[in-house]
Amino acid sequence: MNRPEKRNALFHPLRGAILEALVAHDRDADVRVTIIRGAGPSFSAGYDIGGGNVGHEYPYYTPGGEGQWPRHVTEGWMSIWDLAKPVIAQVHGYCLAGGSELATGCDLVYVAEDASMGYPAVRFGVPDMHFHAWFLGMRRAMQMMLT
């Protein structure tokens, strides 16, 4: 990711470019593994909530309706699991919200000592990480979310 001036905040074109690059690497016989890292001091400060998406369409189709945004991003990051070749997140600096979702969607995550990982939206009652049920099992995920 190369938006260091925005701490690699994820906006529609960047999310699309990441997923397109991962598919291209998966099809390339010379590529054995893909490492995702952020330029500058952060892996990713999360989704660009400062107007960066204005004028940009979603990078892939998701049906409309209630809950479209969480479904859209979850489908995107979970598509990483469909790739044959491993994808590694190399995390340093801030790794927040959407950045932590991207890292969680990778096959492996390596975290530097200076990393700060989090999901600030939980302060507003938004459940964190739609992936918990897959990683932990439904009961443990529900326990984490509700207690």
Query: For residue 87, what pLDDT band results from cuts at 50, 70 and 90?
Result: very high
Which tens digits make up the pLDDT trace of 124-143? 666 656 666 777 777 877 77
d(CA 61, CA 47): 18
Could you read off the pLDDT of 68-81 as tens digits, one per residue? Answer: 888 888 889 999 99
Inter-residue long-range contacts of 129-135, CB under 8 Å, 24+ positions, other chains counted: 129/100, 129/101, 129/104, 130/70, 130/74, 130/101, 131/74, 131/77, 131/78, 131/101, 131/104, 131/105, 135/104
The whole-number pLDDT of residue 145 equals 64
Compute the mean pLDDT over every residue in the chain, rounded to the nearest whole number: 88
d(CA 64, CA 15): 19
CATH superfamily of 4-146: 2-enoyl-CoA Hydratase; Chain A, domain 1 (3.90.226.10)
Residue with tokens 């995390």: 91
